[in-house]
Structure 1
Amino acid sequence: MSSPSSNAAKIRLIVVSGLSGSGKSVALRTLEDLDYYCVDNLPSALMPAFVRAVSEDAKDMHPRLAVGVDVRNRADDLNRLPGILAGLAEVGIAYELVFLDTRDEVLIKRYSETRRRHPLSGDQLGLADAIALERKLMRQVAAIADRVIDTSELNVHQLRRLVIGELGMKTGSMTLLFESFAYKHGVPPDADFVFDARCLPNPHWNPQLRPLSGRDAPVREWLDSQPDVVLFREHLQGFLDTWLSRFKDEGRSYVTICIGCTGGRHRSVNLVERLAEHFRESFTQVLSYHRELE
């Protein structure tokens, strides 16, 4: 990487690689939610130029970068990746190469369920053979990975939480994840706080509001007109204002606050969005996630 930037030390780069179907797209979307500047399927040869372009101007610099590299890159491009990463390290770019792996039988099941086409499969190559070829082509990338994550037993939600909790957090800050859910589909297993909004007036019974979600303005306005909803939200806000700061003082890096209602579409979604808005004023990293809407 020529002409090292004085801003290099401020850059953090995560390179996400792995097998097709292992969850790379989920990981990159999650990092994007965490305010990373993400580029998928960037040729390795262009990585230094990409980093340089976003680090040269201190005013417009984006210090958190993520790049997806996979078998869609040309073979010679993949072979150059170790040297390219070494060059970035020489000029002070802190990077982490994360490789997502999955067992063959799980990949075959995932492709069968989604009916998507493997990027290497075709008339002359079946799915199992395409996966085997991909493993061979990606072997060198996996060998130099700083971290290999086996996603065989992880669903989309679990992988997303893993990325948030272990890869995407800002050093020294506490990440808040506000998550809405439907009780009929179960309580999220890794919740730190769970609040039940089923006692509140339900927009579901209004035919005009039923097709909408708690993120839509008509539902938001309707819920804001309900005194019990306003009181419930104020009480939650006050409780969390008090206790989340204690968690932060104790050095916690990640807290999940889950709010559930019957269908996970209106009341819980609205409360999650409103609480996330409130806490973005006092926490640097606040995410909202709606399990039943994803």
Structure 2
Amino acid sequence: MPRKRARPGRATEPNEAQSLRLILVSGLSGSGKSVALHMLEDAGFYCVDNIPAALLKPFISHTLRNNEAQYSRAAVGVDARNAAAEIETVPVLIEELKKSGIQCEIVFLLANDDELLRRFAETRRKHPISTDHVSLKEAIAIERRLLEPILNAADLVVDTSKMGVHDLRELISQRVEKRSAGRLSLLVESFGFKVGIPGDADFVFDARSLPNPYWDPSLRALTGRDADVIRFLEAQRSVPRLMEDILQFVAARIPEHQAANRRYLTIAIGCTGGRHRSVYLAERIAERLSQNFPVVSIRHNSLGETRSITRAPTLAGASSSVA
């Protein structure tokens, strides 16, 4: 049976459709969908997990649109245990709901194959698609293909390959649950190219051309947040130039995302190992962006850390001028 939970609250009038909010959580098995739904449930969302795609429209019609405040914020989980034809209808339905005035968004979670295989081996749980004739690796590939229509329509894609449960809960809390209607949620993440480019990045920038603190034995064990590494990088002329180039590019693209009603933007900055140059740049760029956006999240993939910079925006409406 689907898991349901209601929370008390203010009565919602039928004409308050604009205030209703629906989050559809989907993604690969083992990527953290249950963690995301549990976090939203703890935040007061009415949650239904593993809902059949064919029942999504009736659920919305009979619960989300009624006059009880407990349904004014809802989250539903949809996975690959649906017919392919039914999965293809989900993005169409969500788009229809957006046009009707309901605040809807799709959050899609994924991870790389090696990490998914490791998680299933660790938990000893059975993949929902695997059978005696379908191996775990084959099941993961099938699931990726089945869920592709939802992935392509997702407002936010989260790659959890390098994330723990706490990091994922924090990210969902800051970027999804606490995001105000109409505001763009920004994430700046650092990574190491030797590990791989994050699968959730909208823009990827390469910092490997900058002088590398790794080759200084006294700096090797430190990170881009340590004072000695910061001094090393700020002494290089090429570092502020690259940072300004990135900020100017992002400033030019943000209005396009807002005009297209995009709710999320993820900026990834990589260096070789993901510990020095990319960490420094991610911190500085997130700090600059936070001057005009109320909440900017930072994730350091190689350090396994996620946090947010929260402050009141300096310009009304969160101006996109970040240069």
In which range does the TM-score fall when normalised by the shorter chain? Answer: 0.5 to 0.7
Whole-Å separation in 1 of the counterparts to 2:65 and 2:155: 26
Change (3 A) 1:166 1:112: same
- Partner residue in 1 for 2:144: 135
Task: Give yes or no for contact 2:22–2:73 (8 Å, CA) kept in 1.
Answer: yes
Note if 1:121 corresponds to 2:93: no
Normalising to structure 1: TM-score of the pair? 0.55
Whole-Å separation in 2 of the counterparts to 1:142 and 1:20: 14
Whole-Å separation in 2 of the counterparts to 1:102 and 1:49: 31
Whole-Å separation in 1 of the counterparts to 2:58 and 2:45: 17
Task: Give yes or no for contact 1:13–1:64 (8 Å, CA) kept in 2.
Answer: yes
Q: Which has the higher contact order (CA 8 A, sep 6+)?
A: 1
Q: Which runs of 5+ in 2 are unaligned?
A: 1-13, 182-292, 297-323
Change (3 A) 1:15 1:59: closer
Whole-Å separation in 2 of the counterparts to 1:132 and 1:39: 26
1:97 to 86, 96, 106: 106
Greater Rg by CA: 1
Q: Any residues of structure 2 matched to 1:32-71 within 5 Å, and which? A: 32-60=41-69, 62-71=71-80
- Partner residue in 1 for 2:38: 29
2:83 to 62, 65, 74: 74
Whole-Å separation in 1 of the counterparts to 2:94 and 2:154: 11
2:156 to 115, 124, 147: 147
- Partner residue in 2 for 1:10: 19
Normalising to structure 2: TM-score of the pair? 0.50
Q: Which amino acid aligns with 1:63?
A: S
State the Cα distance separating 1:133 from its structure 2 match.
Answer: 0.9
Whole-Å separation in 1 of the counterparts to 2:166 and 2:43: 15
Change (3 A) 1:36 1:60: closer
State the Cα distance separating 1:79 from its structure 2 match.
Answer: 1.2
Higher helix share: 1
- Partner residue in 2 for 1:283: none
What SS does the corresponding residue of 1:99 show, helix, strand or coil?
strand
What SS does the corresponding residue of 1:66 show, helix, strand or coil?
strand
- Partner residue in 2 for 1:163: 172
Cα-Cα RMSD: 2.3
Task: Give yes or no for contact 1:41–1:68 (8 Å, CA) kept in 2.
Answer: yes
Q: Any residues of structure 2 matched to 1:200-279 within 5 Å, and which? A: none
Task: Give yes or no for contact 1:7–1:55 (8 Å, CA) kept in 2.
Answer: no
Change (3 A) 1:101 1:116: same
Question: 1:1-57: per-residue Cα shift (whole Å, max 9, x none)?
Answer: xxxx53321111111110000000000000000100111111223222222222443
Task: Give yes or no for contact 1:54–1:60 (8 Å, CA) kept in 2.
Answer: no
Whole-Å separation in 2 of the counterparts to 1:42 and 1:92: 23
Whole-Å separation in 2 of the counterparts to 1:127 and 1:157: 26
Task: Give yes or no for contact 1:34–1:169 (8 Å, CA) kept in 2.
Answer: no
Q: Which amino acid aligns with 2:112?
A: R
